[in-house]
Amino acid sequence: MHDLSLSFLLIFLLAILFPNWLFGQFFPNPSFEGPRGSHLSPPPWKPCERNSTPDTQPGAWEVTKLPTDGNSYISIIARGTHGPASNTPEDINIKLNRDLLAGHCYSFSIDLSMSTKFGHTSSIGWINYDTPAVLKIYGGNINCEEAELLWLSDPISNSNWETLFFTLRPTEESIKYIRLAADYHNAFSYYGNILIDNIQTYTEKVIYTIAMDTIVDFGDTLHLSASSGDAYKWSSENQLSCSDCREQLLVVKGSGSYVVEIEDAYGCNFFEEFMVEIRYDPELLFVPNLITPNGDGANDHFEIRGLPDRSKLEIFNRSGKLVYSKDFYDNSWNGQETNGRSLPKGIYFYKLKSELFSQPYTGFIEVIK
């Protein structure tokens, strides 16, 4: 893995381990800490103007699950057909520490669960709010506004805490307020609950994935295809067929990784890495023993067949002095010194190094003029 991949991996790992330190929190009180009880919201989170208010848990409505972070978390419900606030889902609202900007992307994680026991006794008996609800995340410019639905979860059916990662990509305006709402999944109404704890901010930009990890033979043709986007920027220590296209068709001559930065329609940048390891057969290597650099097109250059990418060539004169050196040799030597000055005719000694060779390949090369 080369340096670029390592730095991205490091950033990704740091983001997992220390999200707040790297990026700062968008959400005040992201762990929903506050006095526990029914109809209580942990400040500065506030319910919107509805007849149904969130609760700070555990302890209310028979919920006993422990928090994933700190001392408390919240529950919001989807309410069924019975009672004065029937058929209403609950929500909770917050003013962000800083705006989410249109055209940017932001990655978060959130801990979600449902409680299999969540209810109360009513005039029609015990009501259990145990049908999985969906979580909606709205963005707005004023309190409780639903200017934009930024994210919709699958039904939250897990009864143990799970951490979900999600990305918000506002498209219209700067988002100042975020509203979390429980809602019904494919039904007019039913009784359900969602438990929410520990929202963490990860990154404003970077998503990094390993797209491929493969082993091929030296000289094989490899097809690399990036995920769909609007723009592409490739980087690699090895040769590329183009730097800004979606697909690469390569004759592979070196191990290493190919990284593409993809920009999507929302201006969200993410990275994919293709890691390639090659098998090398030393029989492939053919090194000529003379060159005739007279410009007639025949044997003008020291052209090594089966040359791996990132090979290093060194040329020494008869007294053992290093006269030419190139780290990424490209079959271009035609009898010159490293500084370009022409060398006299005669016999020279070469040393070719590659990570694919068990030891340097050496021999004599005659320059005929």
Q: Write out the residues near Ca ion by the rule CB under 5 A.
A: 31-32, 67, 69-70, 73, 197
Closest to Ca ion by CB, 56 or 131:
56
Q: What is the DSSP string of 274-320?
A: EEEEEE--GGG-B--SEE--SSSSSS-S---BTPPTT-EEEEE-TTS
Closest to Ca ion by CB, 162 or 277:
162
Cα-based distances in Å from 80 to 51, 121, 192: 13, 14, 8
The β-bridge partners of 325 are 314
Closest contact distance (angstroms) between CB of 177 and Ca ion is: 21
> Which secondary-structure segment (H or E) carries 14?
helix 3-17
Closest to Ca ion by CB, 197 or 272:
197
Structure tokens, 62: 């028979």
Closest contact distance (angstroms) between CB of 33 and Ca ion is: 5
- b/e for 257-271, b at 16 or more Cβ within 10 A? bbbbbbebebbbbbb
Reduce the DSSP state of residue 336 to 3 states and report it.
strand
Greatest extent of the chain over all pairs of C-alpha atoms, in Å: 107
Closest to Ca ion by CB, 30 or 140:
30
Closest contact distance (angstroms) between CB of 197 and Ca ion is: 5
Closest contact distance (angstroms) between CB of 64 and Ca ion is: 15
CB atoms within 10 A of CB 364: 11
Closest contact distance (angstroms) between CB of 168 and Ca ion is: 21
Closest contact distance (angstroms) between CB of 276 and Ca ion is: 44
d(CA 318, CA 111): 71
Reduce the DSSP state of residue 41 to 3 states and report it.
coil
Closest to Ca ion by CB, 40 or 275:
40
Closest to Ca ion by CB, 45 or 73:
73
